[in-house]
């Protein structure tokens, strides 16, 4: 099976390449290969690549910048998806599209099911929801949240840097969700592809925490591995204390039970995967 991965240099794109199974003939492209905002260029590249499956791991993820750059966010998060779907419809292939918890408004009192009503509250969330709308029944949608990986630009590595620079930090404690190790997400995507899954699935690590909870755990685990010299004071603050241009969901926990049932595997707790990622980070030096 010829599989084309977009967003090759990103956290998920890298993880997908590292975990690719033997049955997948993988090629991966990134911004230096094709401008996803240029539909004509993207279509031409897809004709040349002639994949059986596209795993779209690329996205405009600058959540706050999107509020003032909606056209670019829409071009990458929505219009490019439509272009990929059209190309695969013409060739008989499929699209695997990765989306986000930001398509929900964060007002739910229980984990969001795959069929839950979407109500995005930001440009990023709206353009990602628009991208989902282009998918066909035979395509595969995988929603996730709070993705991180060794070597990437993410909350975990930002916290480690700040913990080594400051004695006191303030981290938001009233936004609840679940982190996602990119390696685990990649494995789930490959497993879904192998089982020829279609429709919508959710994948996050097991457990529910706030960003503050996550920061405390990062400090403890990173200190144990020598990545943090000393554990700083980590104060819990509110979203109102740290205003941002884009509105974040206050509660964005995704219900992943259907995914685990479909694949017949067990959920992995977020702290277990955090430790694995930090061990990778420590080896990087």
Cite the active site residues: 124
How far is 273 from 260, CA to CA, in rounded Å? 16
Give the other-Cβ count within 10 Å of 130's Cβ.
Answer: 18
**Three-state DSSP class for residue 197:** coil
Q: Which residues pair with 95 in a beta bridge?
A: 54
Whats the size of the chain, residue-wise? 285
How would you label 274-285 residue by residue, b for 16+ Cβ within 10 Å and e otherwise?
Answer: bbebbeebeeee
Distance CA 177, CA 187 (A): 21
Q: How far is CA 51 from CA 57, 83, 86, 94, 212, in A?
A: 15, 14, 13, 9, 42
In whole angstroms, what is the distance from residue 104 CA to residue 182 CA?
Answer: 21
């Amino acid at each position: 099976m010829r599989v084309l991965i977009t967003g090759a240099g990103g956290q998920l794109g890298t993880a997908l390449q590292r975990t690719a199974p033997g049955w997948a003939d993988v090629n991966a492209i990134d911004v230096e290969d094709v401008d996803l905002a240029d539909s004509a260029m993207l279509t031409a590249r897809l004709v040349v690549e002639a994949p059986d499956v596209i795993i779209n791991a690329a996205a405009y993820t600058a959540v706050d910048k999107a509020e003032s750059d909606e056209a670019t966010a829409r071009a990458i998060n929505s219009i490019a998806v439509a272009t990929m779907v059209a190309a695969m419809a013409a060739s008989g292939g499929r699209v695997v599209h990765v989306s986000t918890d930001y398509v929900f408004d964060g007002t739910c009192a229980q984990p969001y099911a795959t069929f839950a009503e979407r109500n995005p509250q930001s440009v990023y969330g709206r353009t990602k929801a628009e991208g989902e709308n282009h998918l066909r029944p035979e395509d595969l949608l995988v929603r996730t949240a709070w993705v991180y990986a060794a070597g990437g630009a993410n909350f975990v590595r930002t916290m480690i840097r700040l913990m080594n620079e400051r004695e006191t930090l303030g981290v938001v404690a009233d936004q609840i969700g679940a982190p996602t190790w990119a390696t685990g997400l990649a494995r789930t995507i490959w497993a879904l592809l192998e089982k020829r899954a279609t429709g919508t699935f959710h994948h996050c690590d097991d457990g529910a925490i706030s960003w503050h909870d996550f920061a405390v755990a990062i400090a403890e685990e990173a200190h144990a591995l020598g990545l943090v010299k000393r554990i700083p004071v980590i104060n819990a603050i509110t979203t109102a204390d740290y205003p941002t241009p884009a509105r974040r969901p206050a509660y964005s926990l995704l219900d992943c039970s259907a995914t685990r049932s479909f694949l017949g595997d067990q959920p992995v707790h977020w702290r277990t995967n955090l430790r694995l990622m930090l061990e990778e980070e420590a080896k990087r030096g």
